[in-house]
A and B are shown apart, each in its own frame.
Chain A
Amino acid sequence: MASAHSIPSIEERFEFTSEAKRNLLIGGGVGLALVALGAYLAATGGGHEAAARGAEQAAAAVGHAGAEHGAAGHGAAAAAEGGHHAKSWVARIWANLWVNGVYFTGMSVVGMFFISYNYLAQAGWSTVFKRIPEALPAFLPYMGVVMLLTFIFGGHDLFHWTHEGLYEVGGPEYDKIIAGKRGFLNTPFFIIRLVIYFAVWYWLWRVIRNLSLKEDEIGGTEFYEKSIRFGTAFLVVFGVTSSTSAWDFVMSIDTHWFSTMFGWYTLASWHVAGLAVITLTVVMLRERGYLRAVNSSHLRDLGKFIFAFSIFWTYVWFAQFLLIYYANLPEETIYFIERFRGHGGFYKAPFFITLFLNFFFPFLVLMTRDAKYTHSILKVACWSVIIGHYMDFYTNIMPGTVGAGAELGALEWGFFLIFLCAFAYSIASQLEKANLIPRNHPMLEESLHHDIA
């Protein structure tokens, strides 16, 4: 009533143009070429540097193993691996698939997370761009397949706990600590969990998506009420599975090490990256003439969301770091020592770049009010967060999988590009399937008049 905004039409269909499709395919092709180039370089011994780091690491690990009892198993294993040319370039490919699989799974599922908590809170403001978070989880089945296959074929290279020798009592590789975790960390149960996560997340999303599409045709509040119930069910499920999947996908790589903050930490990482994808999509759609009904107040709220949750991620990151730093227990600090000094110091740069891209940059750039609705600034901040959290998962996963054999070159960026283009393709084809604005949503009227002055 009060505001003088004129409300643009709510009838809009997104058209996934053949030009956009071509561009995304070219992007994926470039990614593929980069992967091929990177794999060729790695296979033909381009990794001299990495090999040197491997030898260095082997020496360092022996030192660690002697001095730090808790980490002995880890250090000794690393030393053994470091001896024969770190790990092969094949492991690097598995690790890359895993990093991107985990990261893009997270961003997809956060779309569902976003819709669910908005339903539960009966939030009105987000309705007008609801189709965008709603489009993200369509990518989940593909990621599920990628992760399942990567685990089945590359699991041995990625997860130390899959090595059978660790569980033979009295054997040369026997590891009492890991053997104690066998009830949870064993291949069949891991695969069951992985399938359950994807099946349940995807199923709940399908339910909500179908309700939303039917609501578009029929209208009324019945679909909305049902969506609240299913959204709440998803939040209950995700409350548990976000943590357990974080343990499975990321934390179990460093099998000896554990952190009670890790579930939160990964959720925070996924969440802010997902918000960045949502915001970036909204901004890009607006630039192409769609979503005129999204006003500066919506954009500002999205900007605030990214601003707040990049701080939240940093808070969780720091809470985890500070406790480990302060308590200074060898079996815990090994995690950070590996990233600071281990593997020839390779991970130090990604470690600090992560902090910069995910905290300092968005914090300073998104602080002022006008920045939060300026398209160009929002885009820069979103890209910073999206790349920053890729680096975040990179620093979490790589040291325990490829260790000193890691690089951040053509192979890594190629894989990232492929996944990114595939994700964008999936989002765009979902957006095409329905009216871009949920025209019969009961909260739509409120959302169209969203005004935070």
Chain B
Amino acid sequence: MAELSGKYLVGVYDDDDTVLHAVPRLRKAGVKIKEVYSPFPIHGMDEALGHPRTRIGIAAFMFGVTGCCVALTLMIWTMGIDWPMIIGGKDPISIPAYIPITFELTVLFTAFGMVITFFISNGLGPGTHAHPRFDVRSTDNKFVMAIDLGRNSMTVEDISRALKDSGAEEVNIKQF
């Protein structure tokens, strides 16, 4: 299949309902779908495509715990140990006074951590190559399904026919 790597079959659909029903049909027929691009989120598409669930929640929790620990360590060390200071008549280490900042840093670490994780895991960000654009109309009025030929064992003709049968109005080949 070496000659097929980097080659994609692109099915263009006109209707979100059609594409949503096409996905399980094609998967049943043995076609491995890379992704579906749509101008708006389609309810039920994630389950239909069978994508594994995102693990960003776990990452968020880790970032949050990190932020919480960093904030407490920073304040306890600077205010209480390295250079003890009495502010407002409170003990140098006074946890209630630290809670707002702890909260803020927890949120900050979580938010930034999640964005950075998202960028890295999706190969986005400055200096990275733009994602292959299968069909620019997927940002306007069309629903575009991408099939990586390198990862499919079926012949191009078979997949093309299956796409047409499932309601695609055009099927194109893209090479990257």
Choose, from A51-59, A87-95, A318-326, the stretch at the interface.
Answer: A318-326
Q: Which residue of A lies closest to B20 (CB)?
A: A2
Residue contact A453 to B57, C-beta cutoff 8 Å: no
Residue contact B44 to A368, C-beta cutoff 8 Å: no
| Chain A 159-197: CB-based contact to B (< 8 A → 1; otherwise 0) | 000000000000000000000000000000000000000
Q: Which residue of B lies closest to A452 (CB)?
A: B43
Any chain A CB within 8 A of the CB of B96? yes
| Chain B 118-146: CB-based contact to A (< 8 A → 1; otherwise 0) | 00000000000000000000000000000
Residue contact A2 to B57, C-beta cutoff 8 Å: no
Contact partners of B43 in chain A: CB under 8 A: 2-3, 451, 453
Size class of B's contact patch? 10 to 19
Which DSSP category, helix, strand, loop or mixed, fits chain B's interface?
helix
Give the number of chain A interface residues (Cβ < 8 Å): 15
Residue contact A322 to B100, C-beta cutoff 8 Å: yes
Any chain B CB within 8 A of the CB of A22? no
| 17 A/B residue pairs, CB under 8 Å, sorted by A | A2-B17, A2-B43, A2-B44, A3-B44, A318-B99, A322-B96, A325-B96, A325-B97, A326-B90, A326-B96, A326-B97, A328-B88, A328-B89, A367-B61, A453-B43, A453-B44, A453-B46
Contact partners of A451 in chain B: CB under 8 A: 43-44
Q: A38 to chain B: closest CB distance in Å?
A: 35
Chain B positions within 8 Å of A, measured between CB atoms, are 16-17, 20, 42-47, 57, 61, 88-90, 96-97, 99-100
Picked from A4, A325, A328, A367, the residue with its CB within 8 Å of the CB of B44 is A4
Contact partners of A318 in chain B: CB under 8 A: 99
Instruction: Tell me, in angstroms, the Cα distance from A230 to B16 when the chains sit together.
Output: 39
Instruction: Tell me, in angstroms, the Cα distance from A369 to B57 when the chains sit together.
Output: 9
| Chain A 1-38: CB-based contact to B (< 8 A → 1; otherwise 0) | 11110000000000000000000000000000000000
Residue contact A453 to B96, C-beta cutoff 8 Å: no
Contact partners of B17 in chain A: CB under 8 A: 1-2
Residue of A1, A322, A453 most packed against chain B (CB within 10 A): A453
Residue contact A2 to B42, C-beta cutoff 8 Å: yes
Q: B7 to chain A: closest CB distance in Å?
A: 31
Contact partners of A368 in chain B: CB under 8 A: 57
Q: B45 to chain A: closest CB distance in Å?
A: 8
Instruction: Tell me, in angstroms, the Cα distance from A369 to B46 when the chains sit together.
Output: 16
Q: A278 to chain B: closest CB distance in Å?
A: 25
Q: B46 to chain A: closest CB distance in Å?
A: 6
Instruction: Tell me, in angstroms, the Cα distance from A63 to B17 when the chains sit together.
Output: 76
| Chain A 361-398: CB-based contact to B (< 8 A → 1; otherwise 0) | 00000011100000000000000000000000000000
Contact partners of A453 in chain B: CB under 8 A: 43-44, 46-47
Instruction: Tell me, in angstroms, the Cα distance from A328 to B42 when the chains sit together.
Output: 55
Contact partners of A1 in chain B: CB under 8 A: 17
